Amino acid sequence: MDTAIRTAILDILSRQTDMTIATVRSDGYPQATTVSFVNDDLLLYFGCGPLSQKAKNIARNDKVSVTVTPPYTDWNSIRGLSLGGRACLITDAGEITRLSGLFFNRFPFVVQYAPQDRSELALIMIRPEVISILDYRKGFGHADQIDLRRDATSS
């Protein structure tokens, strides 16, 4: 992936705290939900209830879509990400502890919502496979497409 594109993606991720995630319901319809997230490089993480619709959808079908869009004042300044990837539940205790630190650093207030029993929280990781980075400053509707699956096979 081009360094400038990677930097632009990470800039958007580092400046935003919410994303919209779309999962696939059991009836085949998409379900879009806004969640707070943290990222570690290109990997995205969010928490939800283990019995939530999102968690059930991901357990059944790991394909997800995500959008992250910073605020903009007019259409000529729209920037954002749209990505497709695979989601999975994080179960490793050490990784859960590490991710909890990322969440507490980004959202200090979240400590009041953290359950004492870790089984009451599902931490989900999203590994992007395809990313579209929108940048209308380069022209109306301009988007750069990145296929991380192709990049992974060529490395």
Task: Give pLDDT tens digits for 26-79.
Answer: 999 999 999 999 999 999 999 999 999 999 999 999 999 999 998 999 998 899
Which pair of structure tokens corresponds to residue 3?
A: 């360094």
Which pair of structure tokens corresponds to residue 86?
A: 């695979």
Contact status, residue 48 vs residue 124, Cβ threshold 8 Å: yes
* CA 25 vs CA 8, 88, 92, 104, 127: distances in Å: 32, 16, 26, 30, 20
> In this model, does residue 154 exceed pLDDT 90?
no
Q: Which domain CATH number covers 42?
A: 2.30.110.10
Q: What confidence score (pLDDT) does residue 87 get? A: 98
Query: Model-level pTM?
Result: 0.89
**Count of structural domains within the chain:** 1
Q: What confidence score (pLDDT) does residue 117 get? A: 66
* pLDDT bracket for residue 100 (50, 70, 90): confident
How far apart CA 149 and CA 108 sit, in angstroms, is 35
Amino acid at 81: L
Residue 78's SS3 state is: coil
Residue 70 belongs to what domain range? Answer: 3-154
Enumerate helices (H) and strands (E) in the chain, giving the number of each: 4, 8
Least confident of 28-37, 91-100, 116-125, 126-135: 116-125
